[in-house]
């Protein structure tokens, strides 16, 4: 008889001062996943991101009688992405599903996302099509951010910011998260060959507790986007970026010097009163700077990859040839 082992889903929820939501949240996850008992096992990992209210106390009390619930308490408030990463690092599941702890995401969607993932995807990203947030401070910046991120990363998703996603464990295990970067996991994963899709999910207004973010998140998202684009595209060949700018700037400097020379010879224009002299010198100096910076970046990126024994590629699978029937020796 084939022993079909049930797959394990790890649900990871970072919480920061969510004392009013935590009870309903945990109960809802329990009830949704209990219905899935025949199909999946699950573990619930709550990461308390340095809450200063009763979040942790309530969470611990909810743990009684639920061995599948784990709580990770962080020492201080590190932010949503590091909290998520702490949960990911301890998740043992075949599938990993993060979501928000304020009940804006609906635990009801978890099995739907996992079912979609089972169709052969590595990432299923939630799309809050009918998003229940403020228009000016949330929805409009988010529309703009999503289109910019889609264009720059080349991975077309409607809603990068939605925390509710489902990942195959390999996607999460091979990634280190920095800054506010959890929203970029689908893009980075797709660059290394993961199959990414999206799915509409429910969204509810935040009924209790306060949002932890303001409009200033926008600039952090932009800086993170530049960083991942740079690291994703050029981290194995930074000299191509810096060197490219360096060579371009050398060309400008050269053209500027030639024009200046022509002006001097043809029209007798004084060289040291000609602004082109300064422009030319500036571009030439810049070109040297950029080339050297490119070489430094090359050295850094080699150290980076080698010190962590990171490879410059990601393998999906290795097929060994079937072992020979008789041994050769």
**Under the criterion CB under 5 A, does residue 102 sit at the interface with Mg ion?**
yes
213 makes contact, choosing from ligand UDP, Mg ion, none, with CB < 5 to 8 Å by partner type, with: ligand UDP
| Shortest distance in whole angstroms from residue 212 CB to Mg ion | 8
**Under the criterion CB under 5 A, does residue 80 sit at the interface with Mg ion?**
no
85 makes contact, choosing from ligand UDP, Mg ion, none, with CB < 5 to 8 Å by partner type, with: none
In this chain, which stretch among 97-105, 140-148, 222-230, 281-289 interacts with Mg ion, using CB under 5 A? 97-105
Alpha carbon separation from 164 to 18, 72, 103, 110 (Å, rounded): 17, 19, 11, 8
Q: Measured from the CB atom, is 113 or 276 closer to ligand UDP?
A: 113
212 makes contact, choosing from Mg ion, ligand UDP, none, with CB < 5 to 8 Å by partner type, with: ligand UDP
Q: Measured from the CB atom, is 211 or 311 closer to ligand UDP?
A: 211
Q: Measured from the CB atom, is 131 or 168 closer to ligand UDP?
A: 131
DSSP 3: -
Residue 252, token pair as written in the block: 């400008």
For 195-223, the DSSP string reads -EEEEE-------SS--S--TTHHHHHHH
Nearest by Cα to 11 from 74, 92, 78: 92
Residues that bind ligand UDP (CB under 6 A): 14-16, 18, 49, 77, 79-80, 83, 100-102, 104, 211-213
**Under the criterion CB under 5 A, does residue 104 sit at the interface with Mg ion?**
yes
Q: Rounded to whole angstroms, how far apart are CA atoms 222 and 25?
A: 31
Q: Measured from the CB atom, is 204 or 264 closer to ligand UDP?
A: 204
User: Residues near 314 by Cβ (< 8 Å), separated by ≥ 6?
Assistant: 174, 192, 193
126 makes contact, choosing from ligand UDP, Mg ion, none, with CB < 5 to 8 Å by partner type, with: none
Burial letters 3-41, b for 16+ CB under 10 A, else e:
eeeeebbbbbbbbbbbbbbbeebbeebbebbeebeeebb
Footprint of Mg ion (CB under 5 A): 100, 102, 104
């Amino acid at each position: 008889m084939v022993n079909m082992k049930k797959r394990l889903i790890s649900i990871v929820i970072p919480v920061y001062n969510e004392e009013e939501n935590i009870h309903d949240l945990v109960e809802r996850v329990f009830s949704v996943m209990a219905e899935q008992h025949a199909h999946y096992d699950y573990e619930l990992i709550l990461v308390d991101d340095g809450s200063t209210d009763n979040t942790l106390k309530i969470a611990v009390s909810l743990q009684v009688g639920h061995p599948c619930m784990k709580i990770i308490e962080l020492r201080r408030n590190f932010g949503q992405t590091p909290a998520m990463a702490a949960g990911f690092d301890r998740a043992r599941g075949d599938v990993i599903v993060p979501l928000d702890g304020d009940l804006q995401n609906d635990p009801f969607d978890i099995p739907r996302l996992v079912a979609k993932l089972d169709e052969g995807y590595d990432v299923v990203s939630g799309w809050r099509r009918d998003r229940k947030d403020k228009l000016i401070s949330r929805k409009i910046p988010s529309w703009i951010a999503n289109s910019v991120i889609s264009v720059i990363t080349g991975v077309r998703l409607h809603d990068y910011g939605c925390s509710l996603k489902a990942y195959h464990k390999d996607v999460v295990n091979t990634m280190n998260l920095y800054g506010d970067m959890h929203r970029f996991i689908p893009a980075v994963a797709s660059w290394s060959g993961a199959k990414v899709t999206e799915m509409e999910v429910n969204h509810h207004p935040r009924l209790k507790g306060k949002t932890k973010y303001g409009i200033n998140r926008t600039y952090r998202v932009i800086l993170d986007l530049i960083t991942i684009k740079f690291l994703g595209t050029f981290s194995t060949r930074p000299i191509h970026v810096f060197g490219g700018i360096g060579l371009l700037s050398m060309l400008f400097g050269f053209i500027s010097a030639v024009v200046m020379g022509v002006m001097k010879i043809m029209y007798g224009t004084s060289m040291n009163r000609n602004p082109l002299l300064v422009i030319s010198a500036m571009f030439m100096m810049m070109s040297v700077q950029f080339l050297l910076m490119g070489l430094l970046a090359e050295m850094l990126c080699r150290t980076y990859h080698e010190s962590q024994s990171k490879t410059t590629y990601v393998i999906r699978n290795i097929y060994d040839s079937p072992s020979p029937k008789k041994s050769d020796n």
